[in-house]
Structure 1
Amino acid sequence: NQKRIKSKYPIATQTQEKLFIQTIMNDTIKKIALSGYISKGIVFSITGILAFLSAFNMGGRKAGKISIINYLEQQTLGSVIVVLLGVGLICYGIWRLIQGVNDPEGIGTDFKGLVKRISFSISGIIYFSLGLIAIVEAFGLFSIYSTGNNSKEPLLNTSTRSLIFIIIGGALGIKAVYQFVKIYKGNFINNFDIQSVTSLNTRKYIKRMGYAGLLSRGIVTSIISYFFLSTGIDLNASSKQVKGTAEAFSFIQDQAYGKYLLGFVAAGLVCYGLFMFSTAAYRKYND
Protein backbone atom coordinates (compact mmCIF):
# COMPACT_ATOMS: atom_id res chain seq x y z
CA ASN A 1 0.00 0.00 0.00
CA GLN A 2 2.84 2.37 0.87
CA LYS A 3 4.42 1.75 -2.53
CA ARG A 4 1.15 2.52 -4.23
CA ILE A 5 0.74 5.71 -2.24
CA LYS A 6 4.31 6.80 -3.04
CA SER A 7 3.83 6.06 -6.71
CA LYS A 8 0.93 8.51 -6.85
CA TYR A 9 2.89 11.53 -5.69
CA PRO A 10 5.08 11.91 -8.80
CA ILE A 11 1.96 11.71 -10.97
CA ALA A 12 0.20 14.32 -8.86
CA THR A 13 3.29 16.54 -8.98
CA GLN A 14 3.52 16.26 -12.78
CA THR A 15 -0.18 17.10 -13.11
CA GLN A 16 0.24 20.15 -10.89
CA GLU A 17 3.24 21.30 -12.91
CA LYS A 18 1.30 20.94 -16.16
CA LEU A 19 -1.62 22.90 -14.72
CA PHE A 20 0.76 25.59 -13.46
CA ILE A 21 2.46 25.89 -16.85
CA GLN A 22 -0.94 25.93 -18.59
CA THR A 23 -2.11 28.71 -16.28
CA ILE A 24 0.99 30.77 -17.05
CA MET A 25 0.48 30.18 -20.78
CA ASN A 26 -3.19 31.19 -20.59
CA ASP A 27 -2.33 34.36 -18.64
CA THR A 28 0.40 35.23 -21.15
CA ILE A 29 -1.93 34.70 -24.10
CA LYS A 30 -4.57 36.90 -22.45
CA LYS A 31 -2.02 39.69 -21.94
CA ILE A 32 -0.94 39.37 -25.58
CA ALA A 33 -4.57 39.59 -26.72
CA LEU A 34 -5.27 42.56 -24.42
CA SER A 35 -2.24 44.48 -25.74
CA GLY A 36 -3.35 43.69 -29.28
CA TYR A 37 -6.91 44.93 -28.82
CA ILE A 38 -5.69 48.17 -27.25
CA SER A 39 -3.28 48.83 -30.15
CA LYS A 40 -5.92 48.03 -32.74
CA GLY A 41 -8.29 50.37 -30.93
CA ILE A 42 -5.70 53.16 -31.06
CA VAL A 43 -5.20 52.72 -34.82
CA PHE A 44 -8.92 52.80 -35.62
CA SER A 45 -9.63 55.69 -33.24
CA ILE A 46 -6.91 57.86 -34.77
CA THR A 47 -7.96 56.87 -38.29
CA GLY A 48 -11.54 57.91 -37.54
CA ILE A 49 -10.62 61.16 -35.79
CA LEU A 50 -8.32 62.31 -38.60
CA ALA A 51 -10.90 61.39 -41.27
CA PHE A 52 -13.63 63.23 -39.35
CA LEU A 53 -11.51 66.38 -39.07
CA SER A 54 -10.65 66.12 -42.76
CA ALA A 55 -14.32 65.80 -43.72
CA PHE A 56 -15.16 69.18 -42.19
CA ASN A 57 -11.90 70.92 -43.18
CA MET A 58 -10.64 71.11 -39.61
CA GLY A 59 -7.25 69.62 -40.36
CA GLY A 60 -6.71 65.90 -40.14
CA ARG A 61 -6.10 63.65 -43.11
CA LYS A 62 -7.52 60.68 -44.94
CA ALA A 63 -5.18 57.87 -43.97
CA GLY A 64 -4.90 54.12 -43.86
CA LYS A 65 -3.05 52.07 -41.26
CA ILE A 66 0.46 52.64 -42.66
CA SER A 67 -0.19 56.37 -43.08
CA ILE A 68 -1.27 56.49 -39.44
CA ILE A 69 2.10 55.05 -38.43
CA ASN A 70 3.84 57.78 -40.42
CA TYR A 71 1.59 60.43 -38.84
CA LEU A 72 2.32 59.23 -35.30
CA GLU A 73 6.06 59.16 -35.95
CA GLN A 74 5.97 62.87 -36.75
CA GLN A 75 4.54 63.72 -33.32
CA THR A 76 6.48 64.45 -30.11
CA LEU A 77 8.11 61.20 -28.91
CA GLY A 78 6.74 59.74 -32.13
CA SER A 79 9.31 56.97 -32.44
CA VAL A 80 8.57 55.74 -28.91
CA ILE A 81 4.82 55.80 -29.59
CA VAL A 82 5.25 53.94 -32.88
CA VAL A 83 7.45 51.26 -31.28
CA LEU A 84 4.90 50.67 -28.51
CA LEU A 85 2.10 50.58 -31.05
CA GLY A 86 4.11 48.22 -33.25
CA VAL A 87 4.64 45.83 -30.34
CA GLY A 88 0.92 45.92 -29.65
CA LEU A 89 0.05 45.20 -33.28
CA ILE A 90 2.49 42.28 -33.26
CA CYS A 91 0.70 41.02 -30.14
CA TYR A 92 -2.62 41.27 -31.95
CA GLY A 93 -1.15 39.38 -34.90
CA ILE A 94 0.13 36.65 -32.57
CA TRP A 95 -3.29 36.38 -30.88
CA ARG A 96 -5.05 36.02 -34.24
CA LEU A 97 -2.54 33.38 -35.33
CA ILE A 98 -3.10 31.50 -32.07
CA GLN A 99 -6.84 31.62 -32.70
CA GLY A 100 -6.38 30.38 -36.25
CA VAL A 101 -3.77 27.68 -35.67
CA ASN A 102 -4.26 26.40 -32.12
CA ASP A 103 -7.99 27.07 -31.88
CA PRO A 104 -7.98 27.68 -28.10
CA GLU A 105 -11.68 28.59 -28.11
CA GLY A 106 -12.93 25.50 -29.91
CA ILE A 107 -14.14 27.09 -33.13
CA GLY A 108 -13.87 23.68 -34.78
CA THR A 109 -12.84 22.11 -38.07
CA ASP A 110 -16.12 22.17 -39.97
CA PHE A 111 -16.37 24.39 -43.05
CA LYS A 112 -17.56 27.45 -41.13
CA GLY A 113 -14.92 26.94 -38.45
CA LEU A 114 -12.09 26.49 -40.95
CA VAL A 115 -13.09 29.62 -42.88
CA LYS A 116 -13.13 31.59 -39.64
CA ARG A 117 -9.76 30.21 -38.53
CA ILE A 118 -8.18 30.91 -41.93
CA SER A 119 -9.46 34.49 -41.78
CA PHE A 120 -7.98 34.82 -38.28
CA SER A 121 -4.63 33.55 -39.55
CA ILE A 122 -4.61 35.95 -42.51
CA SER A 123 -5.52 38.82 -40.19
CA GLY A 124 -2.73 37.72 -37.86
CA ILE A 125 -0.14 37.78 -40.63
CA ILE A 126 -1.30 41.23 -41.76
CA TYR A 127 -1.20 42.80 -38.29
CA PHE A 128 2.06 41.07 -37.37
CA SER A 129 3.63 42.49 -40.56
CA LEU A 130 2.18 45.93 -39.85
CA GLY A 131 3.69 45.85 -36.37
CA LEU A 132 7.10 44.92 -37.76
CA ILE A 133 6.86 47.71 -40.33
CA ALA A 134 6.06 50.19 -37.55
CA ILE A 135 9.05 49.15 -35.43
CA VAL A 136 11.49 49.09 -38.34
CA GLU A 137 10.21 52.48 -39.50
CA ALA A 138 10.61 53.92 -35.98
CA PHE A 139 14.27 52.87 -35.89
CA GLY A 140 14.82 54.45 -39.31
CA LEU A 141 15.92 51.25 -41.01
CA PHE A 142 13.74 52.12 -43.97
CA SER A 143 10.98 54.54 -44.87
CA ILE A 144 7.44 53.45 -45.58
CA TYR A 145 7.24 56.05 -48.30
CA SER A 146 9.68 55.63 -51.14
CA THR A 147 11.24 58.82 -52.47
CA GLY A 148 12.49 57.21 -55.61
CA ASN A 149 10.61 57.14 -58.89
CA ASN A 150 10.21 53.42 -59.39
CA SER A 151 8.13 52.88 -62.51
CA LYS A 152 8.68 49.15 -62.77
CA GLU A 153 5.64 46.88 -62.66
CA PRO A 154 5.69 43.61 -60.71
CA LEU A 155 7.06 40.66 -62.65
CA LEU A 156 3.58 39.25 -63.27
CA ASN A 157 1.75 39.07 -66.55
CA THR A 158 -1.46 41.05 -66.94
CA SER A 159 -3.88 38.15 -66.55
CA THR A 160 -2.15 36.85 -63.40
CA ARG A 161 -2.09 40.30 -61.85
CA SER A 162 -5.78 40.80 -62.65
CA LEU A 163 -6.64 37.42 -61.14
CA ILE A 164 -4.82 38.32 -57.92
CA PHE A 165 -6.70 41.62 -57.69
CA ILE A 166 -10.03 39.85 -58.26
CA ILE A 167 -9.26 37.27 -55.57
CA ILE A 168 -8.28 39.99 -53.08
CA GLY A 169 -11.35 42.02 -54.02
CA GLY A 170 -13.59 38.99 -53.58
CA ALA A 171 -12.06 38.19 -50.19
CA LEU A 172 -12.57 41.79 -49.06
CA GLY A 173 -16.16 41.64 -50.31
CA ILE A 174 -16.78 38.53 -48.19
CA LYS A 175 -15.19 40.28 -45.22
CA ALA A 176 -17.49 43.27 -45.72
CA VAL A 177 -20.56 41.03 -45.89
CA TYR A 178 -19.39 39.31 -42.70
CA GLN A 179 -19.37 42.69 -40.90
CA PHE A 180 -22.98 43.28 -41.95
CA VAL A 181 -23.99 39.74 -40.94
CA LYS A 182 -22.54 40.34 -37.47
CA ILE A 183 -24.63 43.50 -37.23
CA TYR A 184 -27.77 41.61 -38.29
CA LYS A 185 -27.20 38.77 -35.82
CA GLY A 186 -25.98 41.06 -33.05
CA ASN A 187 -23.71 38.30 -31.76
CA PHE A 188 -20.51 40.34 -31.75
CA ILE A 189 -20.61 40.66 -27.95
CA ASN A 190 -20.94 36.92 -27.37
CA ASN A 191 -17.27 36.85 -26.40
CA PHE A 192 -17.81 39.47 -23.71
CA ASP A 193 -18.01 38.62 -20.03
CA ILE A 194 -21.16 40.69 -19.97
CA GLN A 195 -21.88 39.91 -16.30
CA SER A 196 -18.73 41.81 -15.34
CA VAL A 197 -20.22 44.94 -16.95
CA THR A 198 -22.38 45.95 -14.00
CA SER A 199 -23.80 49.13 -15.55
CA LEU A 200 -26.69 48.56 -17.97
CA ASN A 201 -25.86 51.86 -19.70
CA THR A 202 -22.28 50.69 -20.28
CA ARG A 203 -23.61 47.48 -21.86
CA LYS A 204 -25.83 49.54 -24.18
CA TYR A 205 -22.96 51.84 -25.16
CA ILE A 206 -20.66 48.89 -25.89
CA LYS A 207 -23.26 47.31 -28.15
CA ARG A 208 -24.02 50.59 -29.93
CA MET A 209 -20.31 51.22 -30.49
CA GLY A 210 -20.06 47.72 -31.94
CA TYR A 211 -22.96 48.34 -34.32
CA ALA A 212 -21.58 51.70 -35.49
CA GLY A 213 -18.04 50.38 -35.81
CA LEU A 214 -18.95 47.27 -37.79
CA LEU A 215 -21.17 49.33 -40.10
CA SER A 216 -18.34 51.75 -40.90
CA ARG A 217 -15.84 48.91 -41.34
CA GLY A 218 -18.26 47.16 -43.66
CA ILE A 219 -18.75 50.29 -45.77
CA VAL A 220 -15.03 51.06 -46.09
CA THR A 221 -14.14 47.42 -46.81
CA SER A 222 -16.89 47.23 -49.46
CA ILE A 223 -15.45 50.25 -51.25
CA ILE A 224 -11.89 48.88 -51.15
CA SER A 225 -13.26 45.56 -52.46
CA TYR A 226 -14.83 47.48 -55.34
CA PHE A 227 -11.48 49.17 -56.07
CA PHE A 228 -9.67 45.82 -56.30
CA LEU A 229 -12.39 44.15 -58.37
CA SER A 230 -12.63 47.02 -60.85
CA THR A 231 -8.83 47.11 -61.21
CA GLY A 232 -8.74 43.34 -61.73
CA ILE A 233 -11.51 43.38 -64.33
CA ASP A 234 -9.69 46.09 -66.28
CA LEU A 235 -7.01 43.96 -67.96
CA ASN A 236 -4.98 47.05 -68.82
CA ALA A 237 -4.93 48.30 -65.23
CA SER A 238 -1.69 48.82 -63.36
CA SER A 239 -0.99 47.77 -59.79
CA LYS A 240 -0.44 51.48 -59.10
CA GLN A 241 -4.17 51.99 -59.64
CA VAL A 242 -5.09 49.86 -56.62
CA LYS A 243 -6.58 52.07 -53.93
CA GLY A 244 -6.88 51.69 -50.17
CA THR A 245 -8.50 53.26 -47.12
CA ALA A 246 -7.51 56.86 -47.86
CA GLU A 247 -8.97 56.63 -51.36
CA ALA A 248 -12.11 55.01 -49.93
CA PHE A 249 -12.55 58.07 -47.72
CA SER A 250 -12.13 60.34 -50.76
CA PHE A 251 -14.65 58.21 -52.68
CA ILE A 252 -17.20 58.73 -49.90
CA GLN A 253 -16.52 62.47 -49.72
CA ASP A 254 -17.02 62.84 -53.48
CA GLN A 255 -20.64 61.69 -53.21
CA ALA A 256 -23.64 63.93 -52.59
CA TYR A 257 -23.51 65.20 -49.00
CA GLY A 258 -20.06 63.65 -48.97
CA LYS A 259 -18.64 65.47 -45.97
CA TYR A 260 -21.55 64.30 -43.83
CA LEU A 261 -21.25 60.74 -45.10
CA LEU A 262 -17.52 60.75 -44.43
CA GLY A 263 -18.13 62.25 -40.99
CA PHE A 264 -20.63 59.47 -40.26
CA VAL A 265 -18.23 56.72 -41.38
CA ALA A 266 -15.30 58.32 -39.55
CA ALA A 267 -17.32 58.55 -36.33
CA GLY A 268 -18.15 54.87 -36.75
CA LEU A 269 -14.46 54.01 -36.98
CA VAL A 270 -13.83 55.90 -33.75
CA CYS A 271 -16.64 53.85 -32.23
CA TYR A 272 -14.93 50.70 -33.46
CA GLY A 273 -11.73 51.81 -31.78
CA LEU A 274 -13.64 52.32 -28.53
CA PHE A 275 -15.26 48.92 -29.02
CA MET A 276 -11.77 47.41 -29.21
CA PHE A 277 -10.91 49.07 -25.89
CA SER A 278 -14.08 47.55 -24.44
CA THR A 279 -13.04 44.18 -25.85
CA ALA A 280 -9.69 44.50 -24.10
CA ALA A 281 -11.46 45.25 -20.83
CA TYR A 282 -14.33 42.77 -20.89
CA ARG A 283 -13.55 39.93 -23.28
CA LYS A 284 -13.82 36.42 -21.88
CA TYR A 285 -11.46 33.61 -22.85
CA ASN A 286 -12.09 29.89 -22.92
CA ASP A 287 -9.23 28.46 -20.89
Structure 2
Amino acid sequence: MSGVPDTSDVSRAADAAGSSAKQAARSKPVRVMARVGIASNGLLHLLIAFLAARIALGSGGQADQNGALGAIAAEPAGRVLLGVLVVGFAAVVLWRVVSAIWGFPYISDDRKRIAKRVSSGGQAVIYAALAVTAATTAVQGRSSGGGGGQATAGLLGLPGGQILVALVGLGVVIGGGVMIYQGYTEAFTEDQDLGGVDRRARRLNERTGQVGYIAKGVAIIVLGLLIGTAAITFDPQQANGMDSALKTLREQPYGVFLLLAVALGIACYGVFCFFDARYHRVV
Protein backbone atom coordinates (compact mmCIF):
# COMPACT_ATOMS: atom_id res chain seq x y z
CA MET A 1 0.00 0.00 0.00
CA SER A 2 1.32 3.43 -0.92
CA GLY A 3 -0.27 5.23 2.01
CA VAL A 4 -1.69 7.87 -0.33
CA PRO A 5 -5.44 8.34 0.24
CA ASP A 6 -7.70 7.54 -2.69
CA THR A 7 -8.91 10.76 -4.32
CA SER A 8 -12.44 9.37 -4.62
CA ASP A 9 -12.48 8.71 -0.85
CA VAL A 10 -11.30 12.25 -0.15
CA SER A 11 -13.95 13.64 -2.51
CA ARG A 12 -16.70 11.59 -0.85
CA ALA A 13 -15.56 12.73 2.59
CA ALA A 14 -15.55 16.36 1.48
CA ASP A 15 -19.03 15.97 -0.05
CA ALA A 16 -20.30 14.35 3.15
CA ALA A 17 -18.84 17.12 5.30
CA GLY A 18 -20.33 19.77 3.04
CA SER A 19 -23.72 18.07 3.07
CA SER A 20 -23.64 17.86 6.88
CA ALA A 21 -22.78 21.55 7.20
CA LYS A 22 -25.52 22.45 4.74
CA GLN A 23 -28.10 20.39 6.65
CA ALA A 24 -27.00 21.86 9.98
CA ALA A 25 -27.26 25.43 8.70
CA ARG A 26 -30.72 24.76 7.30
CA SER A 27 -32.03 22.97 10.38
CA LYS A 28 -34.90 24.63 12.21
CA PRO A 29 -32.91 25.49 15.41
CA VAL A 30 -30.17 27.24 13.41
CA ARG A 31 -32.70 29.08 11.26
CA VAL A 32 -34.55 30.27 14.36
CA MET A 33 -31.31 31.40 16.03
CA ALA A 34 -30.20 33.10 12.80
CA ARG A 35 -33.35 35.21 13.00
CA VAL A 36 -32.52 35.93 16.64
CA GLY A 37 -29.06 37.05 15.49
CA ILE A 38 -30.53 39.41 12.87
CA ALA A 39 -32.87 40.87 15.50
CA SER A 40 -29.93 41.18 17.91
CA ASN A 41 -28.14 43.29 15.32
CA GLY A 42 -31.23 45.49 15.32
CA LEU A 43 -30.99 45.90 19.09
CA LEU A 44 -27.33 46.89 18.77
CA HIS A 45 -28.17 49.54 16.18
CA LEU A 46 -30.94 50.98 18.35
CA LEU A 47 -28.44 51.30 21.19
CA ILE A 48 -25.84 52.87 18.86
CA ALA A 49 -28.50 55.35 17.68
CA PHE A 50 -29.29 56.24 21.30
CA LEU A 51 -25.60 56.74 22.13
CA ALA A 52 -25.11 58.82 18.96
CA ALA A 53 -28.06 61.05 19.92
CA ARG A 54 -26.54 61.53 23.39
CA ILE A 55 -23.24 62.59 21.80
CA ALA A 56 -25.10 64.98 19.48
CA LEU A 57 -26.72 66.60 22.53
CA GLY A 58 -23.38 67.01 24.31
CA SER A 59 -23.13 63.88 26.46
CA GLY A 60 -20.15 61.55 26.43
CA GLY A 61 -20.12 57.91 25.46
CA GLN A 62 -18.94 55.53 22.79
CA ALA A 63 -21.37 55.35 19.85
CA ASP A 64 -20.40 52.06 18.26
CA GLN A 65 -20.87 48.32 18.76
CA ASN A 66 -18.42 48.24 21.67
CA GLY A 67 -20.33 51.03 23.40
CA ALA A 68 -23.67 49.29 22.80
CA LEU A 69 -22.38 45.94 24.09
CA GLY A 70 -20.84 47.68 27.09
CA ALA A 71 -24.22 49.28 27.85
CA ILE A 72 -25.84 45.84 27.79
CA ALA A 73 -23.14 44.37 30.05
CA ALA A 74 -23.74 47.13 32.62
CA GLU A 75 -27.38 46.10 33.08
CA PRO A 76 -28.62 43.42 35.53
CA ALA A 77 -28.62 40.08 33.71
CA GLY A 78 -26.69 41.83 30.94
CA ARG A 79 -24.24 38.95 30.59
CA VAL A 80 -27.13 36.53 30.08
CA LEU A 81 -28.45 38.70 27.25
CA LEU A 82 -24.94 38.89 25.79
CA GLY A 83 -24.81 35.10 25.85
CA VAL A 84 -28.03 34.97 23.79
CA LEU A 85 -26.52 37.46 21.35
CA VAL A 86 -23.39 35.31 20.99
CA VAL A 87 -25.46 32.22 20.15
CA GLY A 88 -27.59 34.19 17.69
CA PHE A 89 -24.57 35.75 15.99
CA ALA A 90 -22.87 32.32 15.76
CA ALA A 91 -25.99 30.89 14.09
CA VAL A 92 -25.92 33.74 11.56
CA VAL A 93 -22.26 32.94 10.83
CA LEU A 94 -23.06 29.29 10.09
CA TRP A 95 -26.04 30.23 7.93
CA ARG A 96 -24.08 32.92 6.04
CA VAL A 97 -21.13 30.60 5.37
CA VAL A 98 -23.45 27.99 3.87
CA SER A 99 -25.24 30.73 1.87
CA ALA A 100 -21.86 31.90 0.55
CA ILE A 101 -21.26 28.40 -0.83
CA TRP A 102 -24.70 27.12 -1.88
CA GLY A 103 -27.13 29.98 -1.30
CA PHE A 104 -29.53 32.15 -3.33
CA PRO A 105 -30.98 29.45 -5.63
CA TYR A 106 -33.97 31.76 -6.23
CA ILE A 107 -31.73 34.21 -8.20
CA SER A 108 -31.47 33.18 -11.86
CA ASP A 109 -28.73 35.64 -12.90
CA ASP A 110 -25.36 33.93 -12.32
CA ARG A 111 -23.34 37.12 -11.74
CA LYS A 112 -25.91 38.49 -9.33
CA ARG A 113 -25.99 35.18 -7.44
CA ILE A 114 -22.19 35.19 -7.16
CA ALA A 115 -22.25 38.78 -5.87
CA LYS A 116 -24.84 37.77 -3.27
CA ARG A 117 -22.67 34.84 -2.18
CA VAL A 118 -19.62 37.08 -1.83
CA SER A 119 -21.70 39.54 0.20
CA SER A 120 -22.92 36.66 2.37
CA GLY A 121 -19.32 35.68 3.05
CA GLY A 122 -18.60 39.24 4.15
CA GLN A 123 -21.64 39.15 6.43
CA ALA A 124 -20.28 35.93 7.98
CA VAL A 125 -17.05 37.76 8.86
CA ILE A 126 -18.96 40.72 10.33
CA TYR A 127 -21.17 38.51 12.49
CA ALA A 128 -18.18 36.42 13.58
CA ALA A 129 -16.53 39.64 14.79
CA LEU A 130 -19.77 40.58 16.58
CA ALA A 131 -19.91 37.16 18.25
CA VAL A 132 -16.30 37.43 19.44
CA THR A 133 -16.80 41.01 20.70
CA ALA A 134 -20.04 40.09 22.51
CA ALA A 135 -18.40 37.03 24.08
CA THR A 136 -15.38 39.07 25.20
CA THR A 137 -17.66 41.73 26.69
CA ALA A 138 -19.69 39.06 28.50
CA VAL A 139 -16.54 37.56 30.04
CA GLN A 140 -14.93 40.89 30.98
CA GLY A 141 -18.17 42.62 31.97
CA ARG A 142 -17.23 45.62 29.85
CA SER A 143 -16.25 46.49 26.28
CA SER A 144 -12.59 46.81 25.32
CA GLY A 145 -12.90 49.65 22.77
CA GLY A 146 -10.20 51.18 20.60
CA GLY A 147 -10.13 48.32 18.12
CA GLY A 148 -10.27 50.50 15.03
CA GLY A 149 -7.22 52.55 15.92
CA GLN A 150 -5.24 49.48 16.96
CA ALA A 151 -6.01 47.68 13.68
CA THR A 152 -5.07 50.75 11.65
CA ALA A 153 -1.84 51.15 13.63
CA GLY A 154 -0.99 47.52 12.90
CA LEU A 155 -1.47 48.03 9.17
CA LEU A 156 0.50 51.29 9.16
CA GLY A 157 3.42 49.45 10.75
CA LEU A 158 3.69 47.04 7.82
CA PRO A 159 5.84 47.66 4.72
CA GLY A 160 3.67 49.74 2.40
CA GLY A 161 1.27 50.23 5.30
CA GLN A 162 0.07 53.65 4.19
CA ILE A 163 -0.99 52.27 0.83
CA LEU A 164 -2.74 49.32 2.51
CA VAL A 165 -4.64 51.61 4.87
CA ALA A 166 -5.57 53.93 1.98
CA LEU A 167 -6.94 50.93 0.05
CA VAL A 168 -8.93 49.82 3.10
CA GLY A 169 -10.34 53.32 3.39
CA LEU A 170 -11.30 53.29 -0.29
CA GLY A 171 -12.99 49.90 0.15
CA VAL A 172 -14.95 51.19 3.14
CA VAL A 173 -16.09 54.26 1.19
CA ILE A 174 -17.22 52.01 -1.68
CA GLY A 175 -19.04 49.79 0.83
CA GLY A 176 -20.85 52.81 2.22
CA GLY A 177 -21.79 53.89 -1.29
CA VAL A 178 -23.19 50.42 -2.01
CA MET A 179 -25.32 50.63 1.13
CA ILE A 180 -26.71 54.01 0.05
CA TYR A 181 -27.49 52.58 -3.41
CA GLN A 182 -29.18 49.52 -1.88
CA GLY A 183 -31.26 51.79 0.32
CA TYR A 184 -32.24 54.12 -2.51
CA THR A 185 -33.25 51.24 -4.82
CA GLU A 186 -34.71 49.08 -2.00
CA ALA A 187 -32.50 46.23 -3.22
CA PHE A 188 -32.58 44.73 0.28
CA THR A 189 -36.12 43.44 -0.38
CA GLU A 190 -34.73 40.93 -2.91
CA ASP A 191 -33.64 38.68 -0.05
CA GLN A 192 -36.96 38.90 1.78
CA ASP A 193 -40.07 36.79 1.39
CA LEU A 194 -42.82 39.41 1.39
CA GLY A 195 -45.57 37.30 -0.15
CA GLY A 196 -48.83 37.77 1.73
CA VAL A 197 -47.36 40.45 4.02
CA ASP A 198 -49.78 43.15 5.15
CA ARG A 199 -49.45 46.36 3.11
CA ARG A 200 -48.74 48.50 6.18
CA ALA A 201 -46.03 46.12 7.44
CA ARG A 202 -44.51 45.96 3.96
CA ARG A 203 -44.39 49.76 3.76
CA LEU A 204 -42.76 50.07 7.20
CA ASN A 205 -40.22 47.40 6.24
CA GLU A 206 -39.35 49.25 3.04
CA ARG A 207 -39.18 52.75 4.55
CA THR A 208 -37.14 51.81 7.63
CA GLY A 209 -34.79 49.80 5.42
CA GLN A 210 -34.46 52.63 2.93
CA VAL A 211 -33.72 55.31 5.53
CA GLY A 212 -31.57 52.97 7.60
CA TYR A 213 -29.38 51.79 4.74
CA ILE A 214 -28.78 55.35 3.54
CA ALA A 215 -27.96 56.69 7.02
CA LYS A 216 -25.63 53.82 7.81
CA GLY A 217 -24.01 54.22 4.40
CA VAL A 218 -23.29 57.88 5.17
CA ALA A 219 -21.67 56.95 8.50
CA ILE A 220 -19.58 54.23 6.79
CA ILE A 221 -18.39 56.69 4.11
CA VAL A 222 -17.26 59.09 6.86
CA LEU A 223 -15.41 56.20 8.51
CA GLY A 224 -13.72 55.37 5.19
CA LEU A 225 -12.63 58.98 4.76
CA LEU A 226 -11.18 58.93 8.29
CA ILE A 227 -9.23 55.77 7.46
CA GLY A 228 -7.90 57.52 4.35
CA THR A 229 -6.93 60.53 6.48
CA ALA A 230 -5.11 58.18 8.86
CA ALA A 231 -3.11 56.87 5.91
CA ILE A 232 -2.15 60.39 4.78
CA THR A 233 -1.30 61.72 8.27
CA PHE A 234 0.15 58.43 9.54
CA ASP A 235 -2.12 58.82 12.61
CA PRO A 236 -4.16 55.65 13.42
CA GLN A 237 -6.26 57.48 16.02
CA GLN A 238 -7.93 59.33 13.14
CA ALA A 239 -9.73 56.07 12.30
CA ASN A 240 -10.92 54.73 15.64
CA GLY A 241 -14.07 53.04 14.35
CA MET A 242 -17.67 54.15 13.95
CA ASP A 243 -17.46 56.19 17.17
CA SER A 244 -14.86 58.47 15.54
CA ALA A 245 -16.97 58.77 12.39
CA LEU A 246 -20.07 59.87 14.29
CA LYS A 247 -18.12 62.29 16.47
CA THR A 248 -16.56 63.76 13.32
CA LEU A 249 -20.06 64.45 12.02
CA ARG A 250 -20.79 66.22 15.33
CA GLU A 251 -17.86 68.59 14.71
CA GLN A 252 -19.12 69.77 11.31
CA PRO A 253 -21.19 72.93 10.71
CA TYR A 254 -24.73 72.12 11.90
CA GLY A 255 -23.17 68.91 13.20
CA VAL A 256 -25.71 68.51 16.01
CA PHE A 257 -28.57 68.31 13.52
CA LEU A 258 -26.55 66.19 11.10
CA LEU A 259 -25.64 63.67 13.79
CA LEU A 260 -29.22 63.58 15.13
CA ALA A 261 -30.44 62.86 11.59
CA VAL A 262 -27.89 60.04 11.20
CA ALA A 263 -28.82 58.70 14.66
CA LEU A 264 -32.47 58.63 13.60
CA GLY A 265 -31.47 56.81 10.41
CA ILE A 266 -29.44 54.24 12.35
CA ALA A 267 -32.45 53.74 14.63
CA CYS A 268 -34.52 53.09 11.49
CA TYR A 269 -31.94 50.49 10.45
CA GLY A 270 -32.34 48.87 13.87
CA VAL A 271 -36.12 48.71 13.43
CA PHE A 272 -35.64 47.35 9.90
CA CYS A 273 -33.52 44.50 11.32
CA PHE A 274 -36.55 43.34 13.32
CA PHE A 275 -38.61 43.24 10.12
CA ASP A 276 -35.71 41.51 8.36
CA ALA A 277 -35.50 38.91 11.14
CA ARG A 278 -39.10 38.05 10.32
CA TYR A 279 -39.06 38.25 6.52
CA HIS A 280 -35.48 37.38 5.43
CA ARG A 281 -35.16 34.21 3.35
CA VAL A 282 -33.31 31.97 5.80
CA VAL A 283 -33.07 28.87 3.60
Task: Give the TM-score range, shorter chain.
Answer: 0.7 to 0.9
Q: Residues of 1 paired with 2:88 and 2:248: CA distance?
A: 30
Maintained 8 Å contact 2:70/2:142: no
* 1:25 maps onto 2:22 in alignment: no
Query: Alpha-carbon deviation of 1:157?
Result: 4.4
* 1:232 maps onto 2:223 in alignment: no
Q: Which residue of 1 aligns with 2:210?
A: 211
TM-score (structure 2 length as normaliser) = 0.79
Name the aligned partner's letter for residue 243 of structure 2: A
Q: Which residue of 2 aligns with 1:15?
A: none
Q: Which residue of 2 aligns with 1:265?
A: 262
Q: Which residue of 1 aligns with 2:221?
A: 222
Can you list the C-alpha shifts for 1:112-131, whole angstroms capped at 9, x where unaligned? 54444233223312321321
Structure 1 residues 284 and 100: CA distance shift in structure 2, 3 A = closer
Name the aligned partner's letter for residue 224 of structure 2: S
Maintained 8 Å contact 1:51/1:60: no
Unaligned regions of 5+ residues in structure 2, if any? 1-18
Query: Alpha-carbon deviation of 1:196?
Result: 3.2
Q: Residues of 2 paired with 1:114 and 1:104: CA distance?
A: 9
Query: Alpha-carbon deviation of 1:250?
Result: 1.0
Structure 1 residues 205 and 260: CA distance shift in structure 2, 3 A = same
Q: Which residue of 1 aligns with 2:44?
A: 43
Query: Alpha-carbon deviation of 1:212?
Result: 0.8
Q: Residues of 1 paired with 2:138 and 2:184: CA distance?
A: 40
Q: Residues of 2 paired with 1:279 and 1:130: CA distance?
A: 18
Can you list the C-alpha shifts for 1:125-163, whole angstroms capped at 9, x where unaligned? 2321321232133123996258xxx9xx64864652212
TM-score (structure 1 length as normaliser) = 0.78
Counterpart secondary structure, 1:195? coil
Matching of residues 268-287 of structure 1 within 5 Å: 268-285=265-282, 287=283
Unaligned regions of 5+ residues in structure 1, if any? 1-17
Q: Which residue of 1 aligns with 2:144?
A: 144
Q: Residues of 2 paired with 1:96 and 1:132: CA distance?
A: 16
Maintained 8 Å contact 1:194/1:282: yes
Q: Residues of 2 paired with 1:183 and 1:24: CA distance?
A: 28
Q: Residues of 2 paired with 1:55 and 1:143: CA distance?
A: 22
Q: Which residue of 1 aligns with 2:65?
A: 65
Q: Residues of 2 paired with 1:163 and 1:74: CA distance?
A: 39
Q: Greater helix share, 1 or 2?
A: 2
Q: Which residue of 1 aligns with 2:172?
A: 172
Name the aligned partner's letter for residue 35 of structure 2: L
Structure 1 residues 24 and 95: CA distance shift in structure 2, 3 A = closer
Name the aligned partner's letter for residue 214 of structure 2: L
Comparing 250-259 and 48-57, the one that deviates more: 48-57
Name the aligned partner's letter for residue 28 of structure 2: D
Can you list the C-alpha shifts for 1:217-243, whole angstroms capped at 9, x where unaligned? 110000011011222234xx1434423
Structure 1 residues 24 and 223: CA distance shift in structure 2, 3 A = closer
Q: Which residue of 1 aligns with 2:248?
A: 251
Maintained 8 Å contact 1:169/1:228: yes
Q: Which residue of 2 aligns with 1:99?
A: 99
Query: Alpha-carbon deviation of 1:183?
Result: 2.5
Q: Which residue of 1 aligns with 2:80?
A: 80
CA RMSD of aligned residues (A): 3.0
Maintained 8 Å contact 2:82/2:134: yes
Name the aligned partner's letter for residue 263 of structure 1: L
Query: Alpha-carbon deviation of 1:266?
Result: 0.4
Counterpart secondary structure, 2:224? helix
Maintained 8 Å contact 1:52/1:262: yes
Maintained 8 Å contact 1:38/1:280: yes
Q: Residues of 2 paired with 1:141 and 1:73: CA distance?
A: 6
Q: Which residue of 2 aligns with 1:13?
A: none
Name the aligned partner's letter for residue 86 of structure 1: V
Q: Residues of 2 paired with 1:45 and 1:185: CA distance?
A: 23
Q: Residues of 2 paired with 1:183 and 1:196: CA distance?
A: 23
